[in-house]
A and B are shown apart, each in its own frame.
Chain A
Amino acid sequence: MRDLAHRLLTYEAAAGEASNGMEPPALRVYQKLRESLGEFAGSVAFQSLASRALVLARAEAPSLSAARVAADGSLQGLGEHELQLDMNKDRAGEGGFILIARLLGLLLVFLGESLTLSVLRAKWPESALNNRNFENGRNA
């Protein structure tokens, strides 16, 4: 799942640069997941999943301790540095990256690989989803 999270973050980093977007890639990925999951499962369901993912991610990234998922599913209280994706650094230490990996991991647990990919396809092109390694994700 870390591999898939990395791909989505990389894709959004490039997309953000191309559009001169100011939003950090992790927030862009989170927002798309929120839209996609919110549409088919409802905002309450997304809020529940995101909250669980945040709790799991905090164990790996204490810097996420100030973050919280609002009732509408939006992510709040996250420092700017937690959301930035520096491609030259070890991304494993970045809170945003871990949060996304955990969220994708939960989707995998509940929906399985095929259906998770179907949900993601609504927001990302196939090229962003290729070469995934879901087995790694189970331990993410």
Chain B
Amino acid sequence: MSTQDKVKINQLPTGVPGLDEIVGGGLPEFSFNIIAGAPGSGKTTLAHQFVFANASPERPALYFTVLGESAIKMLRYQQQYTFFDPAKLPDSIRFINLSQVVLDNDLGAVLEAITKEVERANPAVVVVDSFRTMVRKPNSDMELQSFIQRLALSLASWQATTFLIGEYAEDELRDNPIFTVADGLFWLRQTAERNSIVRKLQVIKLRGQDSVPGLHTFRITDAGIQAFSRTFGLTARKRNPPSNRRLCFGIPELDKMLDGGVREGDSVLIAGSSGTGKSVLATQFIAEGIRHGEPGIVAVFEERPEAYAERATSLGLDLETPQKDGKLTILYLRPLDLSVDETMQSILDAVQKIGAKRLVIDSLAGFEMALSPGFRADFRESLYRMIFALTGIGVTILSTVEVDESFTGFPFSTYSISFLTDDIIRLRYVSIDGQLRKIVVVIKMRGGNHAKDIREYEITSKGVVILGERLTNYEALISGIPEHSAPSGSKDESAQEPTIGRKK
């Protein structure tokens, strides 16, 4: 069948930020949907957002309430959400209570009452909340099956997009005639993970279009539900082709070590122990980008943006002006209970808002600690999705990570995430001549001919400054406790020998 022969299914906005992306663009018009989940999981709020986004005086929404939560109490609370527009009542949205009909009659009478109102109002949207209380009444499975099918047929024939809301446990999913009839099945979950609540949404079924599979986190705020797609809303965007452009740090010797800088679209990891200057390097990377007209984002988890900018000022880097000019955003992502997807959404919004080219995540340890404990188990997988998505749209990401310093090993990260990075720069302390000094080495660079040198550096009022030439007269430098080695006698190396402790 050619494309033009197929019936076109209109998609309706869900009214829930992020959910349209998850359901594949919008909810199919005239579909018969079920929102299931435990009490308090956000079912009613989700339905309300859909209703307020789609109801109009010409095609209103009918919201049938049954036994359970009182409509007065429900509206008392629901009107606190910013999407709730009281002016839409009663012309665009009508609430109808069916409790008495359900109590006094059989399912046939309930169907008749709903049909009567639907025929009268010609609604675009019909919600039955809670449907579960209604279907506890049938005398037999056959009566229930018959009722569901007649209801679905009737509402679809009247060109209404329908939501049935019900409290269901997950083990009820199988062999339930309601779920068989439904075109769309949305499951909301709310689980306690240590001291945090983790909310997740799953589109178990959606006929007629591709939805994003898997569990998507969502949050309920005063604006209602906000969903965070596992694909971060980037499914429709093509990955940028690899770029050969180099992005500098503005530290000439380091940029030389990096063969001119990191490649645009790379994921760079700066690893080192506390005080080695990871954040200083990250700040210089962002500031250099701004100098070259490349907007940047800094996601900080361990300190406030003001403190971050102040520290930059002490290094002679002005982060205040670019923030005012819209060239830089310092995101402070509040600690505790964040999901990676929420964090990602905040970063993505900021990236898109200012057209950022450089992104600093300072630090991965802080990022992990900011997550709800339940999300920490998925940290690496989530981080992979995030980095893949962002670098795919051409953003160069620089992450800092603190490593426990060892004198027997040379770890790059405690997260085993080096596979996520294209380039790794390692900073570490070394004990030389009774002093604790710092060395930098480029461990790897994707497709780049980086220097193999181990260089000493200092953190000065101008930021990170590489000292002298590469260190040649020491063995086991990366162990942190090197030993003097005999000069090799080569002309080149002897010329570079007395460099420790000397600024170039």
Contact = CB atoms under 8 A, between A and B. Distances in A.
Contacts of B97: 38-43, 45
Which 8 A-B pairs rank lowest in CB-CB distance, beginning with the nearest? A114-B86, A42-B97, A118-B89, A40-B95, A41-B71, A42-B99, A122-B90, A115-B86
A39 B87 contact: no
Contact of A43 (B75, B86, B100): B100
Interface string A5-44: 0000000000000000000000000000000011111111
Contacts of B65: 40-42
B194 interface: no
A44 B95 CA distance: 15
Given A111-B72, A115-B86, A119-B90, 9 more contacts: A40-B95, A42-B99, A43-B97, A43-B99, A44-B99, A110-B76, A112-B79, A121-B89, A121-B90
Residue among B72, B91, B96, B99 with most chain A CB within 10 A: B72
A111 B72 CA distance: 7
A94 B94 CA distance: 33
A42 B76 contact: no
Contacts of B90: 40, 118-119, 121-122
15 contacts: A40-B90, A40-B96, A41-B70, A41-B71, A41-B72, A42-B71, A43-B100, A44-B100, A45-B70, A110-B73, A111-B72, A111-B75, A114-B87, A115-B89, A118-B86
Given A39-B97, A41-B97, A118-B86, A111 B70 contact: no
Contact of B96 (A39, A45, A119): A39
Residue among A41, A42, A43, A122 with most chain B CB within 10 A: A42
A45 B99 CA distance: 10
A111 B95 contact: no
Contacts of A44: 99-100
Residue among B79, B89, B91 with most chain A CB within 10 A: B89
Nearest to B80: A112
Q: Is the interface of A mostly helix, strand, loop or mixed?
A: helix
Interface string A88-119: 00000000000000000000001110110111
A43 B65 CA distance: 12
Interface string B59-77: 0000001000011110110
Nearest to B99: A42
Nearest to B79: A115
Interface string A69-92: 000000000000000000000000
A59 to B, nearest CB: 23
Nearest to A42: B97
Contacts of A49: 72
Interface string B269-304: 000000000000000000000000000000000000
Contacts of B94: 40
A110 B75 CA distance: 9
Contacts of B79: 111-112, 114-115
Interface in A40-79: 40-45, 49
Nearest to A39: B96
A43 B102 CA distance: 13
A44 B69 CA distance: 12
Interface string B81-120: 0000011011100111101100000000000000000000
A115 B90 CA distance: 9
A32 to B, nearest CB: 13
A25 B72 CA distance: 26
Interface string B455-477: 00000000000000000000000
A37 B96 CA distance: 9
A115 B88 CA distance: 10
Contacts of A111: 72, 75-76, 79
A43 B75 CA distance: 16
Nearest to A120: B90
Contact of B100 (A42, A114, A121, A122): A42
Contacts of A118: 86-87, 89-90
A19 B375 CA distance: 67
B262 to A, nearest CB: 55
A6 B86 CA distance: 24
Interface string A120-132: 0110000000000
A20 to B, nearest CB: 29
Nearest to A109: B76
A119 to B, nearest CB: 7
A14 B66 CA distance: 37
Contacts of A110: 72-73, 76
A37 B324 CA distance: 52
Interface string B38-65: 0000000000000000000000000001
A115 B71 contact: no
A50 B172 CA distance: 40
A42 B95 CA distance: 10
A62 B63 CA distance: 40
Contacts of B89: 115, 118-119, 121
A119 B76 CA distance: 13
B436 to A, nearest CB: 65
